[in-house]
A and B are shown apart, each in its own frame.
Chain A
Amino acid sequence: DADVTQTPRNRITKTGKRIMLECSQTKGHDRMYWYRQDPGLGLRLIYYSFDVKDINKGEISDGYSVSRQAQAKFSLSLESAIPNQTALYFCATSDSQGGIAKNIQYFGAGTRLSVL
């Protein structure tokens, strides 16, 4: 579990505030992902990165931005938080050496974000 670390684990913020969620990994994987989970909706991909400085939008990127300055770190920012961004956020990693035939993902413990 400690291979993929998310901070903070819980965060309460107010509408309009900028916040950053951090993810770091010691697995040596090149690929990193940010998902959000809402009850009954499963996981939805926000952004993903296949290498340092590589950024790709997922299916729900609006209202979010990311930064990948180092292979081990991938941060997610909410520029101006709104209540419908209240959710559980997960960071995940995968190893491209497994080839496209695998893409097994390893998840952090999650950040529970509440926007009031």
Chain B
Amino acid sequence: SQQGEEDPQALSIQEGENATMNCSYKTSINNLQWYRQNSGRGLVHLILIRSNEREKHSGRLRVTLDTSKKSSSLLITASRAADTASYFCATNNNNDMRFGAGTRLTVKP
């Protein structure tokens, strides 16, 4: 069964706007990861946040983690048309990786 659940399922924004995606999960974790998938391609790792971290940045990406609420968010700032893709959160609990169903992001030029 899936561990992470992303919200929203789909998001459409204009280029230059920020995009926020949320992930909720159910069990304890060692870390939480975000992946990106272009249509029909393999997933690509974006960023990892450990269970003892609250926020992490990588370029235009900002990830937050609230273990008390069992939730995480991914913020993409100043979005570009090339950011159009599906984004998945994945929880890692002692090497048991579970992926959510993903958020489909469309960035309109």
Identify the A interface with B (CB < 8 A). Answer: 1, 4, 33, 35, 40-45, 59, 88, 90, 92, 100-110, 112
Are B33 and A104 in touch, CB under 8 angstroms? yes
Picked from B9, B31, B42, B101, the residue with its CB within 8 Å of the CB of A103 is B31
Is there an interface contact between A88 and B40, defined as CB atoms closer than 8 Å? Answer: yes
B25 interfacial by beta-carbon distance below 8 Å: no
Selected from A1, A33, A42, A92, the residue in CB contact (under 8 A) with B101 is: A42
Could you tell me if A105 and B2 are in contact, using CB atoms closer than 8 angstroms?
A: no
Give the complex CA separation of A42 and B31 in angstroms: 19
Q: Which residues on B sit within 8 Å (CB–CB) of A42?
A: 2, 88, 99-102
Closest Cβ neighbor of B43 among chain A residues:
A107
**B42-A107 in contact (CB<8A):** yes
Q: How far is the CB of B74 from chain A (nearest CB, A)?
A: 15
Q: Mark B94-109, 1 if CB is under 8 A from A, else 0.
A: 1101111110000000
Contact between B45 and A102 (Cβ–Cβ < 8 Å)?
A: no
Nearest CB of B to A12, in Å: 16
Instruction: Please judge, given known A-B contacts A102-B48, A103-B97, whether A43 and B40 are in contact too, CB under 8 Å.
Output: no
Asked if B2 and A41 make an inter-chain contact with CB atoms under 8 angstroms apart, the answer reads yes
Q: B60 within 8 Å of A by Cβ? A: no
A40 touches B101 (CB 8 A): yes
Beyond A92-B42, A104-B48, A105-B97, 17 additional contacts (C-beta under 8 Å) are A1-B42, A44-B2, A59-B1, A88-B40, A90-B42, A100-B30, A100-B94, A102-B48, A102-B92, A103-B30, A103-B92, A104-B33, A105-B43, A105-B45, A107-B44, A109-B42, A110-B41
Residues of B within 8 A of A59 (CB): 1
**Contact residues, B1-46 vs A (CB, 8 A):** 1-2, 9, 30-31, 33, 40-45
The answer to whether A106 touches B45, judged by C-beta atoms less than 8 angstroms apart, is yes
Q: Are B48 and A4 in contact (CB under 8 A)?
A: no
In the complex, whether B70 has a CB less than 8 A from a CB of chain A is: no
